[in-house]
């Protein structure tokens, strides 16, 4: 059943032109496809049948070649393919298909979201629309006519430029779209509905005027400005930083509420989850503003890294995703605070991606095989893939890297290529041998690096020795050494930098010497997280404090603070388990006091420095995850630091309050984040005065960041009555804003107070909960199972049974979402043995529950190995 990279074969037939005609209707939509097909000259197989993908839900009405209708004997069909054994070398194929958008709950292919039609074709959704060679190395020009009832569907969109519109004989209206750029079917899109639009324009560097349109439900028209601004900034940034211009006359974004993922880069017609495009100060948090900016840019950047140059096959997914995530991360770093963006991205990588590497679905950035490609839209392909591109950037330097991307785009424009071609372009411009570097694409797992040092006082020579290894992952027992850049600095006692640069690690063990130093330095290693690895060095507390104070690398200053906090929490966990009283060391209080009282420090930095490592990060670091110990120790520390530094927290809270009107810029976000961090500590004391302060903030806030923070903190700090009251007020105020209510759901689902499962089950009865809407499932089910560890891991196994029930229900309804929600259960190996048994029992129950989708089957079966 799995598909293997090594089995790749070029397509036997190419599609020169694709003409589509959609007659939209809820129950029965008719799709007529007219394909100009020709034998692929690059295919050496002598007699190849024409293979068209077609999902089992497609109803084939008519099939003809050069006008001759084919009979049942001329072709065969199974659940996946329609095969025509003998065809001419060049011909026109016409295919009429009937589909049922209203029954489409998987949200792949053509489906209905609220009142509108929309599509999601990546990776293999086009085969749910019509019979077609649905593989990314078949690229075609598309011309699409959309026909629908005028009153219900006044707006009819597809890829490219509108070239014709009017009325059909029966009174329905139509618009015809033409996309001149050859593209794979996964980039096809269609939208029809009664939509409002925000319009703007952009003139590219070479003077091409581009019409910009963002479509949404009319009630959300006032929430599109931030996305529009982000789009224009992204267009300009890509011209300046990569020399890439937009290439069509129109760029459209459509916001839809039912969407499996974040957004989709369809050529000229991006489709977005409302959560990644709508934003207004009153309804949207700072974090969500940043996310909108990042996702809008990400999808825009795909126009070059993904659309103009696309993937040969789905094993190459990181070719476009890793590169594009790197591009959007650099964009966000340039628009906001570079250090903060890096801290956030590395936090995600070190918790979720490292956990993926340690789990049963671990795979290389370029996977070798899959059962269902949807399961490989992962943190490894996206975020680790971006780290791999970042390492190339570090190794080559910005100028050579840019020459490399120029060559890549120039050489492969209009082609479907592999990650090898990307690396080759980098090798060609730099003259470097990147053969060993390519192991980052083929070897899975998180590399470990052990660093030790020595100092020769007489010679003034400092020596660093690196030992790298990588644990086994499914199917890969032995790993070869990686080629990785280690950015470093050596700090003197007074904080001066004695040396800095980038070391290149290539061997399993390797030493580097630094001569003529006046004193033994403190090493700052892996600056900016220059490689996606776990690096250990036996720092003393003094050395970490030294880095915390003096390192010029903001990321490593933060990381030094994290290392201090993690070490303390790990030792407190030992105390907790042996029943000893937990104590807060005075030294930590002093350090924190100095950070809190130094008003000259960057608030963004302070907010991150004073945030305790998350439960998820501590879990990832643990040998065996003790959910309760992690939670209790973190709660203890929160309370203890709150008590010990009460006046300081209160002063910081006051200092970072502001009367200025809301703006989501980096400085204002940092200030709010520090303010709400201090509010969290103040509430951790459990004292009523601070509750009053929080309620004031809740009532008076002019923005969602402050209002929601107050709500979440009150609820999560154990103020039960006040929490209920604020939740009720919040609901009354925001019940008509779906995205705000998603937050309302998720605050409750992630509340660790005893009885969480019962509360979550009541939330599912709420009139605004809708199990067909992925955003709602994420707000309730995923929030409970992924952000409420103590409740999900309740000792009686009720959390596991709850999740399994959902998976069994969603398996048929929406396999992609089912498989994604399943993740927490797959990590059973990380828990104590009695917990493992309970988790595995639920995985087994899913496996035995009947016919499983490929999505769920792949994850469950691989997890039980
Ligand atoms: N290419 C999209 C993006 O990264 C994601 C689409 C994922 N779709 C899916 N069915 N897995 O921007
Ligand atoms: Zn993407």
What residues are paired with 476 via a beta bridge?
473
* Residue 818: both structure tokens together: 């089912």
Q: Which atom of ligand 1 lies nearest, measured to the CA of 125?
A: 10
Question: Does ligand 1 come within 6 angstroms of the Cβ of 94?
Answer: no
- Nearest residue by C-alpha to atom 5 in ligand 1: 264
Question: Does ligand 1 come within 6 angstroms of the Cβ of 381?
Answer: no
Which ligand number lies closest to the CA of residue 774?
A: 1
- CA 121 to ligand 1 center in whole angstroms: 9
Question: Does ligand 1 come within 6 angstroms of the Cβ of 695?
Answer: no
Report H helices in 765-813: 774-777, 783-787, 789-792, 798-813
- Nearest residue by C-alpha to atom 2 in ligand 1: 264
Question: Does ligand 1 come within 6 angstroms of the Cβ of 265?
Answer: yes
Which ligand number lies closest to the CA of residue 320?
A: 2
Residue 46: the pLDDT is 86
- Nearest residue by C-alpha to atom 3 in ligand 1: 264
> Mean pLDDT over residues 826-842, rounded?
98
* Residue 496: both structure tokens together: 């001066």
CB 101 within 8 A of CB 110: yes
Q: How confident is residue 69, by pLDDT bands cut at 50, 70 and 90?
A: very high
Distances from the Cα of 836 to the Cα of 30, 794, 856, angstroms: 50, 13, 20
Question: Does ligand 1 come within 6 angstroms of the Cβ of 329?
Answer: no
486: nearest Cα among 446, 443, 451:
451
Report the DSSP pairing between strands 250-256 and 209-216: parallel
Question: Does ligand 1 come within 6 angstroms of the Cβ of 264?
Answer: yes
The rounded percent of the chain whose pLDDT value lies above 70 is 100
CB 277 within 8 A of CB 216: yes
Q: Which atom of ligand 1 lies nearest, measured to the CA of 321?
A: 4
Residue 427: the pLDDT is 99
Identify the helix (H) or strand (E) that includes residue 37: strand 29-39
Tell me: pLDDT of 47 over 90.
Answer: no
Which ligand number lies closest to the CA of residue 302?
A: 2
- Nearest residue by C-alpha to atom 1 in ligand 1: 264
- For the segment 508-566, what is each residue's pLDDT rounded down to a tens digit? 999 999 999 999 999 999 999 999 999 999 999 999 999 999 999 999 999 999 999 99
CA distance 240 to 800: 50
CA distance 774 to 106: 10
Report the DSSP pairing between strands 13-23 and 140-148: parallel
Residue 701: the pLDDT is 97
What count of other Cβ atoms lies within 10 Å of the Cβ of residue 496? 12
CA distance 591 to 585: 10
Question: Does ligand 1 come within 6 angstroms of the Cβ of 319?
Answer: no
Tell me: pLDDT of 599 over 90.
Answer: no
What count of other Cβ atoms lies within 10 Å of the Cβ of residue 436? 14
- CA 274 to ligand 1 center in whole angstroms: 15
What residues are paired with 4 via a beta bridge?
369
Tell me: pLDDT of 35 over 90.
Answer: yes
Burial of residue 719, with CB atoms counted within 10 A of its CB: 0-12 exposed, 13-18 middle, 19 or more buried: buried
- CA 265 to ligand 1 center in whole angstroms: 8
State residue 482 phi and psi, 5-degree precision: -90, 155
Residue 788: the pLDDT is 98
Report the DSSP pairing between strands 68-69 and 209-216: unpaired
Give just the sign of the alpha carbon dihedral 849, 853, 854, 860: negative
- Nearest residue by C-alpha to atom 11 in ligand 1: 374
> Of the residues 253, 261, 319, 376, which should be mutated to test ligand 1's pocket, given the most ligand atoms within 8 Å of the CB?
261
What count of other Cβ atoms lies within 10 Å of the Cβ of residue 516? 10
Identify the helix (H) or strand (E) that includes residue 698: helix 688-700
Burial of residue 4, with CB atoms counted within 10 A of its CB: 0-12 exposed, 13-18 middle, 19 or more buried: exposed
**In the chain, what is the straight-line distance between the N-terminal and C-terminal CA atoms, in Å?**
17
- CA 467 to ligand 1 center in whole angstroms: 37
Burial of residue 407, with CB atoms counted within 10 A of its CB: 0-12 exposed, 13-18 middle, 19 or more buried: middle
- For the segment 185-215, what is each residue's pLDDT rounded down to a tens digit? 999 999 999 999 999 999 999 999 999 999 9
Which ligand number lies closest to the CA of residue 319?
A: 2
- CA 500 to ligand 2 center in whole angstroms: 34
- For the segment 739-767, what is each residue's pLDDT rounded down to a tens digit? 999 999 999 999 999 999 999 999 999 99
> Of the residues 122, 125, 272, 303, which should be mutated to test ligand 1's pocket, given the most ligand atoms within 8 Å of the CB?
122
- CA 315 to ligand 2 center in whole angstroms: 14
Given the structure tokens 């893939």, which residue do they identify?
Answer: 385
Q: Which atom of ligand 1 lies nearest, measured to the CA of 264?
A: 2
32: nearest Cα among 161, 170, 104, 131:
131
CA distance 373 to 318: 12
Query: Which of 19, 23, 299, 383 does the annotation list as catalytic?
Result: 299
* Residue 7: both structure tokens together: 């089995």
- CA 363 to ligand 1 center in whole angstroms: 18
Given the structure tokens 């459209």, which residue do they identify?
Answer: 252
Question: Does ligand 1 come within 6 angstroms of the Cβ of 328?
Answer: no
Q: Does residue 358 come out as left (phi exceeding 0), alpha (psi in the -120 to 50 range) or beta?
A: alpha
Residue 705: the pLDDT is 98
277: nearest Cα among 223, 335, 197:
223
Distances from the Cα of 742 to the Cα of 257, 507, 760, angstroms: 12, 49, 13
Provide CB contacts within 8 A for 144, sequence distance 6+: 19, 20, 21, 22, 158, 159, 176, 177, 178, 179, 188, 190
Question: Does ligand 1 come within 6 angstroms of the Cβ of 855?
Answer: no
CA distance 854 to 865: 17
What residues are paired with 140 via a beta bridge?
183
798: nearest Cα among 786, 785, 807:
785
CB 20 within 8 A of CB 33: yes
**How does DSSP classify residue 600?**
T
* Residue 612: both structure tokens together: 């305790």
Alpha-carbon 729 to chain mean position: 32
CA distance 809 to 846: 10
Q: Spell 669-689 as b/e; 16+ CB within 10 A means b.
A: bbbbbbbbbbbbbbbbbeeee
Q: How confident is residue 646, by pLDDT bands cut at 50, 70 and 90?
A: very high
Mean pLDDT of the chain: 98
Provide CB contacts within 8 A for 590, sequence distance 6+: none
Provide CB contacts within 8 A for 630, sequence distance 6+: 569, 573, 615, 618, 619, 622, 789
- For the segment 465-489, what is each residue's pLDDT rounded down to a tens digit? 999 999 999 999 999 999 999 999 9
CA distance 258 to 773: 5
* Residue 655: both structure tokens together: 């200092």
Q: 3-state SS of 717-770? A: CCCHHHHHHHHHHHHHHHCCCHHHHHHHHHHHHCCCCCCHHHHHHHHCCCCCCC
- Nearest residue by C-alpha to atom 12 in ligand 1: 264
- CA 770 to ligand 2 center in whole angstroms: 27
Which ligand number lies closest to the CA of residue 328?
A: 2
ipTM over 0.95: yes
Q: Which atom of ligand 1 lies nearest, measured to the CA of 263?
A: 12
Read out DSSP for 92-122?
A: EEEEEEEE-GGG--S--EEEEETTEEEEE-T
Burial of residue 397, with CB atoms counted within 10 A of its CB: 0-12 exposed, 13-18 middle, 19 or more buried: exposed
Sheet of 509-514: strand order equals 509-514, 461-469, 448-456, 534-537
- CA 644 to ligand 1 center in whole angstroms: 47
- CA 297 to ligand 2 center in whole angstroms: 10
State residue 397 phi and psi, 5-degree precision: 85, 160
Question: Does ligand 1 come within 6 angstroms of the Cβ of 124?
Answer: no
Q: How confident is residue 600, by pLDDT bands cut at 50, 70 and 90?
A: confident
Q: Which atom of ligand 1 lies nearest, measured to the CA of 108?
A: 10
CA distance 601 to 606: 7
Read out DSSP for 462-501?
A: EEEEEEEE---BTTB---PPP-EEEEEEEE-TTS-EEEEE
Question: Does ligand 1 come within 6 angstroms of the Cβ of 640?
Answer: no
Cα 333–Cα 334–Cα 339 angle in degrees, nearest 5:
35
Question: Does ligand 1 come within 6 angstroms of the Cβ of 321?
Answer: yes
Quote the longest CA-to-CA distance of the chain.
Answer: 95
Tell me: pLDDT of 117 over 90.
Answer: yes
Q: Which atom of ligand 1 lies nearest, measured to the CA of 374?
A: 11
CA distance 549 to 546: 5
Question: Does ligand 1 come within 6 angstroms of the Cβ of 377?
Answer: yes
Provide CB contacts within 8 A for 824, sequence distance 6+: 785, 786, 792, 803
Question: Does ligand 1 come within 6 angstroms of the Cβ of 261?
Answer: yes
Residue 663: the pLDDT is 95
Tell me: pLDDT of 661 over 90.
Answer: yes
- CA 302 to ligand 2 center in whole angstroms: 7
* Residue 390: both structure tokens together: 């970042």
- For the segment 222-268, what is each residue's pLDDT rounded down to a tens digit? 999 999 999 999 999 999 999 999 999 999 999 999 999 999 999 99
- CA 323 to ligand 2 center in whole angstroms: 9
Which ligand number lies closest to the CA of residue 125?
A: 1
Which ligand number lies closest to the CA of residue 108?
A: 1
> Of the residues 106, 320, 377, 774, which should be mutated to test ligand 1's pocket, given the most ligand atoms within 8 Å of the CB?
377
Identify the helix (H) or strand (E) that includes residue 325: helix 317-335
Helix (H, G, I), strand (E, B) or coil at 131: coil
What count of other Cβ atoms lies within 10 Å of the Cβ of residue 590? 12
State residue 342 phi and psi, 5-degree precision: -65, -40
344 is annotated as an active-site residue: no
> Mean pLDDT over residues 783-794, rounded?
98
| Residue 480: HSE in the Cβ half-sphere, 13 Å Cα cutoff | 11
CB 806 within 8 A of CB 785: no
Residue 119: the pLDDT is 98
Residue 636: the pLDDT is 98
Residue 657: the pLDDT is 93
- CA 374 to ligand 1 center in whole angstroms: 9
Question: Does ligand 1 come within 6 angstroms of the Cβ of 263?
Answer: yes
Question: Does ligand 1 come within 6 angstroms of the Cβ of 299?
Answer: yes
* Residue 426: both structure tokens together: 């980098």
Q: Give the residue with greater pLDDT, 26 vs 648.
A: 648
Question: Does ligand 1 come within 6 angstroms of the Cβ of 425?
Answer: no
> Of the residues 264, 316, 815, which should be mutated to test ligand 1's pocket, given the most ligand atoms within 8 Å of the CB?
264
**How does DSSP classify residue 268?**
T
């Amino acid at each position: 059943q799995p598909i293997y990279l090594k089995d790749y074969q070029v397509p036997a037939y190419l599609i020169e032109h694709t003409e589509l005609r959609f007659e939209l209707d809820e129950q029965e939509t008719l799709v007529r496809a007219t394909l100009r097909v020709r034998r692929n000259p690059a295919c050496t197989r002598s007699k190849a049948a024409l293979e068209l993908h077609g999902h089992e839900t497609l109803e084939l009405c008519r099939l003809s070649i050069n006008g001759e209708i084919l009979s049942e004997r001329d072709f065969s069909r199974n659940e996946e393919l329609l095969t025509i054994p003998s065809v001419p070398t060049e011909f026109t194929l016409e295919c009429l298909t009937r589909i049922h958008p209203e029954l489409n709950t998987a949200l792949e292919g053509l489906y209905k979201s609220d009142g509108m039609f929309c599509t999601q074709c990546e990776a293999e959704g086009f085969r749910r629309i019509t019979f077609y060679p649905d593989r990314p190395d078949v690229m075609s020009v598309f011309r699409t006519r959309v026909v629908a009832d005028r009153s219900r569907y006044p707006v009819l969109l597809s890829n490219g430029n509108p070239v014709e519109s009017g009325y059909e004989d029966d009174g329905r209206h139509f618009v015809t779209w033409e996309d001149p750029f050859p593209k794979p079917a996964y980039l096809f899109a269609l939208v029809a509905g009664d939509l409002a639009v925000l319009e703007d324009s952009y003139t590219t560097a070479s003077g091409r005027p581009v019409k910009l349109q963002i479509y949404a439900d009319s009630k959300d028209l006032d929430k599109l400005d931030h996305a529009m601004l982000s789009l224009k900034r992204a267009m300009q940034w890509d011209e300046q930083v990569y020399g890439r211009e937009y290439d069509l006359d129109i760029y459209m974004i459509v916001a839809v509420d039912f969407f499996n993922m974040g957004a989709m880069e369809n050529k000229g017609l991006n489709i977005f989850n409302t959560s990644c495009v709508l934003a207004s100060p009153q309804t949207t948090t700072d974090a969500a503003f940043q996310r909108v900016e990042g996702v809008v840019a990400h999808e825009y950047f795909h126009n070059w890294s993904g659309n103009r140059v696309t993937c040969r096959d789905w094993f190459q997914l990181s070719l476009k995703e890793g590169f594009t995530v790197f591009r959007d991360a650099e964009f966000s770093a340039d628009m906001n605070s570079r250090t903060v963006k890096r801290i956030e991205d590395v936090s995600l990588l070190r918790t979720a991606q490292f956990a993926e590497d340690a789990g049963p679905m671990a795979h290389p950035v370029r996977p070798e095989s899959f059962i269902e490609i949807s399961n490989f839209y992962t943190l490894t392909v996206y975020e680790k893939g971006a780290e791999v591109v970042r390492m190339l950037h570090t190794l080559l330097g910005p100028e050579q890297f840019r020459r490399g991307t120029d060559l890549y785009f120039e050489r492969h424009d209009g082609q479907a290529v592999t990650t090898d071609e990307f690396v080759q372009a980098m090798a060609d411009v730099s003259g470097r041998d990147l053969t060993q570097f390519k192991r980052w694409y083929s070897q899975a797992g998180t590399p470990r690096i052990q660093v030790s040092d020595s100092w020769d006082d007489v010679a003034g020579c400092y020596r660093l020795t690196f030992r790298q290894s990588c644990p086994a992952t499914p199917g890969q027992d032995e790993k070869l050494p990686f080629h990785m850049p280690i950015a470093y600095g050596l700090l003197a006692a007074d904080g001066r930098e004695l040396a800095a640069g980038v070391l290149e690690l290539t061997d399993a063990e390797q030493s580097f010497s630094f001569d003529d130093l006046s004193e033994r330095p403190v090493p700052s290693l892996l600056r900016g997280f220059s490689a996606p690895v776990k690096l250990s060095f036996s720092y003393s507390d003094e050395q970490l404090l030294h880095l915390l104070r003096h390192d010029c690398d903001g990321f490593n200053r933060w990381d030094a603070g994290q290392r201090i906090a993690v070490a303390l929490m790990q030792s407190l966990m030992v105390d907790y388990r042996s029943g000893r009283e937990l104590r807060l060391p005075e030294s930590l209080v002093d350090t924190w006091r100095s950070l809190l009282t130094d008003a000259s420090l960057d608030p963004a930095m302070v907010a991150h420095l004073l945030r305790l490592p998350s439960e998820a990060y501590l879990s990832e670091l643990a040998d065996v995850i003790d959910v309760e110990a992690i939670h209790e120790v973190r709660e203890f520390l929160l309370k203890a630091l709150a008590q010990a530094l009460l006046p300081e927290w209160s002063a910081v809270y006051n200092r970072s309050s502001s009367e200025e009107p809301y703006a989501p810029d980096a400085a204002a976000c940092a200030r709010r984040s520090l303010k709400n961090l201090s509010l969290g500590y103040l509430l951790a004391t459990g004292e009523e005065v601070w509750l009053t302060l929080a309620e004031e903030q809740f009532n008076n806030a002019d923005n969602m960041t402050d209002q929601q923070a107050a709500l979440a903190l009150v609820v999560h700090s154990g103020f039960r009555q006040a929490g209920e009251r604020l939740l009720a007020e919040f609901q009354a105020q925001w019940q008509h804003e779906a995205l705000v209510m998603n937050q309302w759901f998720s605050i409750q689902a992630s509340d660790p107070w005893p009885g969480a499962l019962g509360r979550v089950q009541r939330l599912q009865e709420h009139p605004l909960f809708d199990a067909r809407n992925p955003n709602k499932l994420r707000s309730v089910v995923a929030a409970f199972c992924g952000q409420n560890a103590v409740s999900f891991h309740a000792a009686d196994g009720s959390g596991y049974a709850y999740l399994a029930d959902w998976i069994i229900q969603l398996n048929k309804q929406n396999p992609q979402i089912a498989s994604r929600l399943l993740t927490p259960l797959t990590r059973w190996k990380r828990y104590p043995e009695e917990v493992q048994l309970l988790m595995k029992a639920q995985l087994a129950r899913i496996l035995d529950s009947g016919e499983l989708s490929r999505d769920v089957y792949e994850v469950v079966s691989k997890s039980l190995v």
